[in-house]
Amino acid sequence: MKAPAHEGQVIVYGASGHAKVVADTLRACGLEIEGFVEDNPKRRDSPDLKILGDGEWLVARAKRSPVAVALGVGDNLSRRTIAVRCVTAGAQLLTAVHPSATIAPSAKIAPGVAIMANAVVNADAVIGVGAIINTAAIVEHDCHVGNFAHLSPKVAIGGHVEVGELSWLGIGCSVIPGIKIGAGSIVGAGATVVHDVDEMIVVVGTPARVLRKIQEQI
């Protein structure tokens, strides 16, 4: 996988474990990372990462010179907020695709996406802005993964599945073909989804059943 096209220095926004994986993905593509941006003061003391500053620092930096930002935050709502901040400041959202991932030529990958090692995105799939296709996840043909959604490691979704914006599919869950997952919903780890899932609910189990309604606004 060749390095993604970008202008200016490459910065990872976030300093959590997910940010480390995003950084490793970029390095595997041959990119050099200038450093990390982190809003949480408790994470800015990391001895392992070069922390450049917080979001305000990045905004000021983007006004001075071109910068490409990879989204290294796992929380969907926070990732969306950060993406808006970066774009408003004039920074480029960088897409990170690990060289071991398999991406069909007809698949469409939006800016700010992270596709991790051994993931598969098959024919005519669409991956929305800022979405995460995590380690060894499988997105089958003709699927649509919404903006800022997250498919955790080893998730498998069958053909023609629609995953709503800001939804989160837990580790190892499976979704049969043709299913729709509503915006902002959560599918529990290891669940098997055989019926459509409404917006803003949590489903768990095999077959997946409703656990509770999500009260937070998206």
Catalytic residues: 141
User: What is the spatial distance between Cα 75 and Cα 178, in angstroms, rounded to a whole number?
Assistant: 26
Q: Token pair of 99, please? A: 């060289």
User: What is the spatial distance between Cα 25 and Cα 189, in angstroms, rounded to a whole number?
Assistant: 24
CA distances from 188 to 30, 112, 120, 175 (A): 35, 25, 21, 11
CA distances from 34 to 53, 104, 112, 199 (A): 12, 30, 17, 39
22 three-state secondary structure:
helix
DSSP letter, residue 18: H
Distance of CA 23 to the CA centre of its chain: 13
